[in-house]
Every structure is written in C-alpha cells, then in structure tokens.
Structure 1
Amino acid sequence: MCLGIPGEIVELLPGRPDLARVEVSGVRRAVNIGLLDGEEVGPGDWVLIHVGFALSRIDEAEARAALEFLAGIGAAYDEEIAALQDSMIDGAGSDGPSNGGASGGPSNGGPSGGTSNGASDGGIG
C-alpha cells in the first residue's frame, strides 16, 4: 500500500518553479510540484504528497478528512511522516527536524549533498 498525505503549501520557492515548501503535521519540507500539470498553486493550497512529490491538488475539507483518517490508522501514517522528515530536495533547505547529519544533506549518508533516491519511503509502497 502506498500512502499519499495531504500538505498545505506555505510558500513557492523563489527561483525554483518546480518546488514549494509544504507543511504536513508540523513538518515543513520542499516538495516537487512539477507533476501538477500546470495547475496554479500557491500558499494556502492543499496537495496530496507521496515521497516528495505533489500528486494532485485537493481542497481543505478533503485534506482534513484524509488527515483524520491517517491519524486513525496509526503506524503506516507515522512511517510516512518519518519518511517525509528524512526527505530533502537539494537547494531547498528545511524548516523542520532533519536527520540528514551535520551538513544538512540527505539521509543516504553520501558526501555529495545529493537527494534521497526515494528507495526508502518508510517501507510503504
């Protein structure tokens, strides 16, 4: 099973039209919005996210209902939130907790400062 989790866009990243900073349950991360096929999104909009990519735009009522459901299923939701906390897209930085080491780089342990390859999404997928 793969989970998509709702997140609220808090800002579009300057100079990066494919990235937005999104908040999910208190965690803020850069998310790739390039898959939204030209949909106009901005701060206050909600998107459905999976492994660092916004898959679709959703309304706030749908987002709230999904968050309530996900909180109710427990472990799978917790694993998806942990995967989100561990993810980082290059050049976007982070406003939330990071497990990326002292350099602020990815959690894959590589010295290059590259991004996570998405191979680990909390064991869900």
Structure 2
Amino acid sequence: MCVAVPGKVIETDGNKAIIEVGNVKREIYIHLVPEVSLGQYVLVHAGCAIQIVDEEEAKQTLEIIKELIEDEVY
C-alpha cells in the first residue's frame, strides 16, 4: 500500500523544501510542484511533494492519521 501524507512547507531552497508534520520536520523534493509557497500544504510520497492541497483538507487528513495511530493495538 502506498500512502501520501500532507505536510506544511516551512522552508524552501531551490528544488527542496522542509515540511512539518506534527512535531516532525523532513526535507523533501518539490520539483513536481515548483509553484509551492511557504505555508502551503503538500502531499508527500517517497520524499517528493506530489500535489498542493487545501489547508483544511490537509488538517482533516492529519487528524484521521492521528486517530488511526492512537487506536493501533500492538
């Protein structure tokens, strides 16, 4: 299964960006969405931003992911 996770762009540098997902920051590639701006949310898959997404949609998705993690039984 492939999963793309929304992250907020907090820094850009050429074809790379730093995104934030919760308390985690990661460097990603943004060459597929070069028009992305600081503060926007992107869907990230395999280290690459593949699409710019609406902030509300991103927050709803992150909330669902958070709920799934909290409900996980080991």
Moved over 4 A (4+): none
Determine what percentage of the aligned residue pairs are the same residue: 37
Instruction: Provide TM-score, normalisation by structure 1.
Output: 0.52
1:50 aligned onto 2:50: no
Greater gyration radius = 1
What are the ranges of 5 or more consecutive residues in structure 1 without an aligned counterpart?
76-125
Q: How does 1:42-81 map to 2 (within 5 A)?
A: 42-74=37-69
Q: Cα deviations across residues 37-74 of structure 1 (Å, max 9, x unaligned)?
A: x4x11210100011211110001100001001111222
- For residue 18 of structure 2, the aligned residue among 11, 16, 21 is 21
* In 1: Cα distance, 2:28 partner to 2:22 partner: 15
RMSD: 1.4
Aligned residues: 70
Higher RCO, 1 or 2 (CA under 8 Å, sep at least 6)?
A: 2
1:30 aligned onto 2:39: no
* In 2: Cα distance, 1:4 partner to 1:50 partner: 5
* In 2: Cα distance, 1:72 partner to 1:11 partner: 28
Structure with greater strand percent: 2
